[in-house]
Amino acid sequence: LTQGFNGRYSHRGWAKYSLDFGLKEGEEIYASRDGIVVDIKEDSDKGGRGRKYKIYANYITIYHNDGTFAQYVHIQKNGCIVNIGDYVKAGQLIGYSGKTGRVKGPHLHFMVFKPVYMDRMTIPISIIGTNNEFVQLKALRYYTSYHPDKVNLTNNIHIASLSTNLNDLEENIVSNYSNLHKLSKGIASNDNDVGGIE
């Protein structure tokens, strides 16, 4: 873990409960929880240290059934293997790490956030350890992830095939997220914009 909560480099303000995992380019990224993919960006191959690179960060955003969203940032160009509307399971491969956006080097920026009035706010998260205890990760320590229920890509199910009720739910979630996303783009000038996370 290269940067933890309230990190000295960029985890401030609304993004203070974010985690940065040092990875090599092209390493596999797995979903932390079940959810619906509500947004992706994967068209950029640009990354660097200056503020001008903020807009080039690729990412995957997944909605969870408790109303929170997980965002996986700095994905490599064309590195998303899920699509908007896909239902993903915890432990499922969703993309590949990169160094897009405002970065010092390749890594995964991970955060869970909830919408708040005119903004969004990250929330603190804990990881379940090997003995089913909650663990809060600390910066500059090495961790190995393991998910016993990891599924392969062939288990990727588009939620539209599940039921009419879920189709309605998907449309509402994607529509509501789209509005939230537009709002977040409108406040993208602040220094803690997702593209500015290092």
The set of catalytic residues is 107
Q: Are strands 28-30 and 93-97 parallel, antiparallel or unpaired?
A: antiparallel
Q: Provide φ and ψ at 59, rounded to 5°.
A: -160, 165
In degrees, rounded to 5, the angle at the alpha carbon of residue 80 between the alpha carbons of residues 75 and 85 is: 130
Residue 166 CA: distances (Å) to CA of 72, 96, 122, 163: 24, 28, 27, 5
Rounded to whole angstroms, the Cα distance separating 113 from 175 reads 17
